[in-house]
């Protein structure tokens, strides 16, 4: 078997084989022993996994990855114990070391696996070489040397891998630091600039909040005054509506009285017209009576003349004629008095009719005016009710607006308190950005000093 150094074999591979006294003869011996060792290997690894599951420090690892670790060990140890120590073995070592590093398998676990497997293989060899102690010793030495060489090889490769990983991490950290320093510098400067901008904005916000609070307080007071004025206007409008209603009621009553007066005037005019008509009838009767009295006086005069002609025989008739004449004259005088009184009644009736006519015209004018006043009062009452309703709506709106003003004033006060808190935190942020800049500078100084 050619074990000369190559790109696939480590530089000290041959030296390490000589150190453990392993060569072609030993590999051939392992190849001859392998058919007897192979059946015992799976059971030995089962015992190894069971023991590690019972060990508290490794229980969690083997509960999660016990099967994978057993498979890796079985495949790798089959190569070792069969004597196939070549480039394929090195690749197996490298793969095993990488998987152990990934799973977190420690060197102690690897040594423990070697011991458990060696004990199992030793038992197989004892049963095989019961008679010849020398052959048993040689076989035990070869198997032990192979297992020890494998543990040393895998641990060396694992350490090399760890060193390479550490170096890779260190280089990555250096690159990260190189990339992080300008980035964090930019961030620190941005934070400082943001803190300064936030401080300026916070100061402006505080000024605006103070001005807003002052204006909202003034607006709240104005709203309260407006509310009081609107309430007073609503009260005055209600009183005006009551007064207009009272005027309307009285106007209605005046209209009723005017209409009643017009009816009474019409009734009185009718009575006066009847009186004038009766006076005319009385004048006719008086004129008739006057005519009858004149004729009676004429007849009495004729009777007196005839009685004078009759002499003594007509004396009594003369007396009667004289009485009739006196009665006729008295009737004529009474008739004249009645005529004068009737004419006076007629004149008074005509004057009364004229005056009552004027009164009726005045009452008609008053009725029209009262009707117009009643209509105007009703319109004014409707307008006043509409104004009163509008003022009540305005009063309600003003009340709600006043309440909203007070709520906004309270919210403004809370906003002002929040702005004050923001200002305080901004000041702290400015201080913190300065501390961050100093801390970052000290950190990079220490990192560079350590490097």
Domain range list for the chain: 11-139, 205-449
- Mean pLDDT computed over 411-434: 72
DSSP secondary-structure letter at 130? S
- Mean pLDDT computed over 45-58: 96
Place of tokens 């977190």: 104
CATH architecture, domain 11-139: Orthogonal Bundle (1.10)
- Segment among 1-5, 393-397, 433-437 with least mean pLDDT: 1-5
Q: Which pLDDT belongs to residue 117?
A: 96
Q: Which pLDDT belongs to residue 328?
A: 75
- Segment among 6-10, 203-207, 230-234 with least mean pLDDT: 230-234
Q: Which pLDDT belongs to residue 105?
A: 92
Query: To the nearest whole percent, how much of the chain has pLDDT over 90?
Result: 27
- Mean pLDDT computed over 383-396: 57
> What are the tokens at 295?
């004729």
What's the rounded Cα separation, in Å, for the pair 376 and 95? Answer: 113
Q: Which pLDDT belongs to residue 83?
A: 94
Q: Is the pLDDT of residue 100 over 60?
A: yes
CATH architecture, domain 205-449: Orthogonal Bundle (1.10)
CA distances from 170 to 161, 175, 391 (A): 14, 9, 83
At what angle are helices 133-310 and 24-37 packed, to 10 degrees?
60
Contact of 52 with 65, CB cutoff 8 Å: no
Q: Is the pLDDT of residue 234 over 80?
A: no
Q: Is the pLDDT of residue 216 over 80?
A: no
Buried-exposed string 331-364: b where 16+ CB fall within 10 A, e elsewhere: bbeebeebbeebeebbeebeebbeebeebbeebe
- Is residue 171 helix, strand or coil? helix
Q: Is the pLDDT of residue 49 over 90?
A: yes
Q: Is the pLDDT of residue 110 over 70?
A: yes
> What are the tokens at 261?
């007066």
- pLDDT tens, residue by residue, 285-325: 668 767 877 887 887 788 788 878 888 877 787 787 788 78
What's phi and psi for 390, nearest 5 deg? Answer: -60, -40
With cut-offs at 50, 70 and 90, classify the pLDDT of residue 270.
confident
Tell which wins on pLDDT, 260 or 333: 333
134 Cβ contact list (under 8 Å, min separation 6)? none
- Mean pLDDT computed over 151-158: 87
Q: Which pLDDT belongs to residue 230?
A: 44
Contact of 429 with 198, CB cutoff 8 Å: yes
- Segment among 83-87, 262-266, 333-337, 424-428 with least mean pLDDT: 262-266
Contact of 418 with 212, CB cutoff 8 Å: no
Q: Which pLDDT belongs to residue 146?
A: 96
- The Cβ-side half-sphere exposure at 19, using a 13 Å CA radius, reads 10
Nearest to 294 by CA among 347, 342, 331, 341: 331
Q: Which pLDDT belongs to residue 1?
A: 41
Q: Is the pLDDT of residue 147 over 90?
A: yes
- pLDDT tens, residue by residue, 122-144: 999 998 877 578 889 999 999 99
- pLDDT tens, residue by residue, 351-379: 866 875 774 685 477 368 556 635 764 77
- Mean pLDDT computed over 70-93: 94
Tell which wins on pLDDT, 94 or 259: 94
């Amino acid at each position: 078997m050619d074990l000369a150094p190559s790109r696939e074999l480590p530089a000290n591979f041959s030296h390490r084989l000589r150190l453990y006294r392993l060569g072609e003869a030993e590999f051939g011996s392992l190849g001859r022993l392998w058919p007897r060792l192979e059946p015992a290997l799976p059971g030995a690894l089962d015992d190894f996994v069971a023991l590690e599951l019972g060990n508290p420090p490794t229980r969690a690892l083997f509960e999660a990855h016990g099967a994978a670790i057993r498979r890796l060990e079985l495949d790798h140890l089959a190569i070792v114990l069969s004597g196939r120590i070549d480039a394929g073995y090195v690749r197996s070592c490298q793969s095993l070391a990488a998987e152990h590093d990934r799973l977190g398998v420690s060197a102690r676990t690897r040594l423990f696996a070697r011991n458990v497997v060696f004990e199992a293989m030793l038992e197989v060899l004892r049963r095989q070489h019961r008679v010849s102690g020398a052959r048993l010793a040689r076989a035990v030495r070869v198997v032990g040397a192979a297992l020890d060489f494998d543990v040393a090889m895998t641990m060396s490769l694992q350490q090399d891998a760890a060193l390479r990983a550490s170096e890779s991490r260190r280089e990555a950290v250096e690159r990260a630091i190189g990339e992080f320093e300008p980035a964090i510098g930019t961030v620190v400067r941005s934070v400082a600039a943001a803190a300064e901008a936030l401080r300026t904005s916070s100061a402006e916000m505080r000024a605006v909040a103070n001005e807003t609070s002052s204006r909202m307080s003034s607006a709240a007071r104005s709203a309260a005054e407006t509310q009081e004025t609107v309430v007073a206007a609503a009260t005055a409008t209600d009183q005006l509506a009551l007064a207009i209603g009272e005027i309307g009621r009285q106007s209605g009553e005046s209209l009723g009285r005017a209409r009643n007066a017009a009816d009474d005037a019409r009734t009185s005019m009718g009575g006066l017209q009847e009186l004038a008509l009766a006076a005319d009838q009385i004048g006719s009767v008086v004129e008739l009576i006057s005519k009858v009295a004149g004729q009676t006086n004429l007849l009495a005069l004729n009777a007196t003349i005839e009685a004078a002609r009759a002499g003594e025989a007509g004396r009594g008739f003369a007396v009667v004629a004289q009485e009739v004449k006196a009665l006729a004259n008295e009737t004529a005088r009474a008739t004249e008095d009645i005529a004068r009184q009737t004419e006076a009644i007629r004149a008074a009736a005509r004057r009364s009719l004229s005056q009552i006519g004027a009164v009726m015209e005045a009452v008609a004018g008053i009725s029209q005016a009262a009707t117009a006043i009643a209509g105007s009062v009703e319109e004014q009452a409707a307008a006043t009710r509409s104004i009163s309703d509008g003022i009540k709506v305005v009063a309600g709106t003003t009340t709600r607006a006043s309440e909203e003003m007070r709520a906004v004033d309270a919210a403004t006060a809370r906003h002002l308190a929040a702005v004050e808190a923001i200002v305080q935190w901004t000041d702290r942020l400015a201080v913190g950005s300065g501390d961050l800049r100093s801390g970052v500078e000290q950190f990079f100084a220490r990192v560079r000093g350590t490097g």
